[in-house]
Structure 1
Amino acid sequence: MNFTYRKIIGSIVTTFVVAMLFSCEGNLKGVREMEMPEDAPQAIGIGINLKYTDSGKVVATLKSARMRDFSNKRFPYREFPEGLEVEFFDENKKSNTVTANYGVIYDQTGLIDLQGNVVVITSDSTELTADQLYWDQNNNWVFTDRENTIRFKNGAVNEGQGFDSNQEFSNFRSRTNVGVQIIEEEKK
């Protein structure tokens, strides 16, 4: 009789252990399916409309159809694969607008890379168009090595291959360029 009870108890224990092993395998498979691929973004935003404030005042707005957040990477960044529009406001509520077909913001360096039909329109109507433009947020500096066209508010036009400037375009350096400059003479 002892032998029969041992068989029954052994069979129950074996069945229980086998059932546990199969159930663990099923759960492990489900967990593995939920793992994100290594190159996947941490988050995806659709219909983005962000407002940046400083001391309760809106200093910038950012609109984009899609944002992919890769802040989980060793070199974190945010990508705007369907373009973006950013509007900056100064203390006098004047705005500067930047649009591009694609953009990347690198968090560690403060560098923004804008690509494809980049257009910058300043509050004084200066317009810059380029295929690619970089903005160094830490140094408030804008630059590119690509072809660009700048139309100043006074009617002057500058077409060049590369430039760098402060973000107000008051300290502007252009490399190889062609353009029309308007110089006003002082009347004596």
Structure 2
Amino acid sequence: MRRLLVLVTLLGIGILGCENDLAEVEALKARLDVKVERVEEVEILYSDSAQVKVRITGPVMLNNLDRTEPYQEFVEGVLVEFFGPEETITSTMVAKYAIRYDRRGEVIVRDSVVWESVENQKLETEELIWREKDEEVFTKKFAKITTAREIIYGHGFRADQNFSNAKIQQVEGIIAVDEGQ
């Protein structure tokens, strides 16, 4: 009986002696957040009818599993390669940050966004939004388009998702004009 009492007393002292620093507990909780997955050296392929259309790569992707608004976030930059019918690259886009909202079907790329086509067309802006359902890309920010013959500046840009039928708003710049017109 005396042995049991000593064991219970020691166990009680051990339990009462445990004290956790609240800051340490919160830091551990944040590191073990099961709502966010961290993926490194990411490569995502999008295909249609067994043909690769888009390849997305980046050093780090955070996959937020929140049920109300799941999203994927590229916090250290992203490279997007667009493919044509022969699975050759038709254009590329780079940015320092990107986020894709699953439910909205919306992708936003920010910070030093540069899209370039194999025809030497280039779009530079600070933000570009792709609405998957509408199959369009746009920005309300300052944009610069460079082609072999022109440099066009504007505030606002809109095109279909393969960057054809591009329109730039509030245009200014140097535009080539044929002398015969």
TM-score strictly above 0.5:
yes
Aligned residue runs from structure 1 range 143-154, under 5 A: 143-153=138-148
> Residues 40, 186 of structure 1: CA spacing in aligned structure 2 closer, same or farther, 3 A cutoff?
farther
How big is each residue's C-alpha offset from its partner over 1:129-156, in whole Å with a ceiling of 9 and x where there is no partner? Answer: 0111111122121111111100134x12
Aligned residues: 174
Partner of 2:120: 125
Partner of 2:41: 47
Partners of 1:109 and 1:181 in 2: how far apart? 37
User: Secondary structure of the equivalent of 2:115?
Assistant: strand
Structure 1 spans left out of the alignment, 5+ residues: 1-7, 27-31
Partners of 1:38 and 1:73 in 2: how far apart? 18
Partners of 2:117 and 2:35 in 1: how far apart? 33
Give the letter for the 1:123 counterpart: V
Give, in angstroms, the shift of residue 183 of structure 1.
4.2
| 2:68 matches 1:74 | yes
Partners of 1:141 and 1:175 in 2: how far apart? 15
Partners of 2:55 and 2:164 in 1: how far apart? 23
Partners of 1:41 and 1:186 in 2: how far apart? 63
User: Secondary structure of the equivalent of 1:125?
Assistant: coil
Aligned residue runs from structure 1 range 151-162, under 5 A: 151-153=146-148, 155-162=149-156
How big is each residue's C-alpha offset from its partner over 1:150-177, in whole Å with a ceiling of 9 and x where there is no partner? Answer: 0134x12210111212123332222212
| 2:174 matches 1:174 | no
Kindly indicate whether the alpha-carbon contact (under 8 Å) linking 2:94 and 2:113 is maintained by their aligned counterparts in 1.
yes
| 2:53 matches 1:59 | yes
> Residues 53, 167 of structure 1: CA spacing in aligned structure 2 closer, same or farther, 3 A cutoff?
closer
Partner of 2:22: none
Partners of 1:180 and 1:59 in 2: how far apart? 33
Partners of 2:33 and 2:156 in 1: how far apart? 33
Partner of 1:4: none
| 2:93 matches 1:98 | yes
Give, in angstroms, the shift of residue 69 of structure 1.
0.7
Give, in angstroms, the shift of residue 12 of structure 1.
5.3
> Residues 123, 44 of structure 1: CA spacing in aligned structure 2 closer, same or farther, 3 A cutoff?
same
Q: Which of 46-55 and 78-87 deviates more? A: 46-55
Partner of 1:141: 136
Kindly indicate whether the alpha-carbon contact (under 8 Å) linking 1:41 and 1:68 is maintained by their aligned counterparts in 2.
no
Partners of 1:145 and 1:39 in 2: how far apart? 35
Kindly indicate whether the alpha-carbon contact (under 8 Å) linking 2:52 and 2:87 is maintained by their aligned counterparts in 1.
no
Give, in angstroms, the shift of residue 186 of structure 1.
8.1
> Residues 140, 124 of structure 1: CA spacing in aligned structure 2 closer, same or farther, 3 A cutoff?
farther
TM-score with structure 2 setting the length: 0.76
Partners of 2:151 and 2:33 in 1: how far apart? 43
User: Secondary structure of the equivalent of 1:168?
Assistant: coil
Give the letter for the 1:55 counterpart: S
